Chain A
Amino acid sequence: MIFNLIFLIFLQPLFDSVFIFLGPVLNYFFKEKIKELNLSLILFSLITDIIFVKPLGFFLFITSFSIFLICLLEKFLGHQHFYQKLIYLFLFNIIYLFLFFFFSFGKIVSSVFFLKFLIFNIIFQAIYITVYGLLRTQK
């Protein structure tokens, strides 16, 4: 948690195309750690609001809504396997970025811009979850 916090505060200002807080949040989501998921979701999204200069509660609102929709999808899909995790990440990011762009610009302005964010975020989250999983198994 503390490592994630430092990671968020010191690296997020340098990388504006990637939402770093989604890494730990989605990791807890896949690990079925509900307490940690809720706690990091609230804490990290509020810090991200301040870093991105958005009204407080903005990222909490769009992230929790996206996760809620993904939770409902869990009824139909399972996320035990890696390729399914990737489908999850893809769906989550599409919903999340759609909400983000809609509430920031009022519309989806540019498909290239959207695609760039989508690819960067999926790559970051996939790397985060894989590296975190590897580190845990080594311990």
Chain B
Amino acid sequence: MFRKKTKNILIIFLLSLVFYWLSSQALAEEESIFNVSLNFQKLIKNFWQKIFPSKEEDFYKEKYYELLQELAKLKLTLKQVKETEIISQREKYLPNLVSADILKTDSFGYIYVKNPGVKEGAIVLDKNWALIGKVSKITKNYLIITSLNVPGLEFNTANLDGELLGLGKTISNGFLEINYVKPETQIKINDFVLTYGDDNLPSGFLVGTVKKINKTQFGQQIIVQLLFELDSGKVYLIK
């Protein structure tokens, strides 16, 4: 029995190795299957949502979150940041903005959306202009976005004054950590964090708010809560 089982599995493993290799070579032909699958998964999700609609508690949670967001926006106006980069980014990129429907979001942080005709590496934003991520793969019918929920992404970050905070690294579940921030850098809880420089991501996009500050022997470690949300079912891409 043991030998038979091992032999069987070994044969399947060898066959799968060949199949996997061939499949990776001819990925273009698989696209239509995956597109059907993504649309089907969207249908299933909508179906479950109709059976179990969001509860009253969720409704109030949403309201509370909306209020928090409005407060955050008010804070921005109070600080008179009209001249800061966020506003200028809006004016700069607004004509090139296209919206796209979300087909699926997975727990690894990848988002599958319908392809509105953008190039690889395009920046993806949510309805509040918060940074979601970057387009990592383009296919004929859909595209894959690597969101900031994918762990291990690195990019430079700055505060609202445009001062460099340090290299931020995504740690999944909606958080980002910035290590080795200079001890003299003044930073408070709920401060906004933006992208900095033009390395992995263009500068001046809103990433999140400061949630926790840890003092270490090498300086400060900042934990940032990401601000983007996908509830609207739409994302905005910069062409």
What is the interface of chain A, defined by CB distance below 8 A to chain B? Answer: 9-10, 13-14, 16-17, 32, 34, 37-38, 41-42, 50-53, 55-58, 60-61, 64-65, 67-68, 71-72, 74-75, 104-105, 107, 109-110, 112-113
Contacts and interface: CB of A to CB of B under 8 A. Distances in A.
Interface of B: 1-2, 4-6, 8-10, 12-13, 16-17, 19-20, 22-24, 27, 30, 33-34, 37-38, 41, 44-45, 48, 104, 106-108, 112, 144, 151-152, 171-173
Given A55-B27, A75-B2, A64 B13 contact: yes
Contacts of A60: 12, 16, 19-20
A42 B12 CA distance: 8
B6 A71 contact: yes
Contacts of B24: 55
B44 A112 contact: no
Which one of B9, B17, B41, B106 has the highest number of Cβ atoms from chain A below 10 Å of its Cβ? B9
A53 B2 contact: no
A8 B201 CA distance: 37
Main secondary structure of the interface of A (DSSP, over half): helix
Nearest to B45: A13
B229 to A, nearest CB: 18
Nearest to A60: B16
Contacts of B38: 53
Contact of A113 (B20, B27, B151): B151
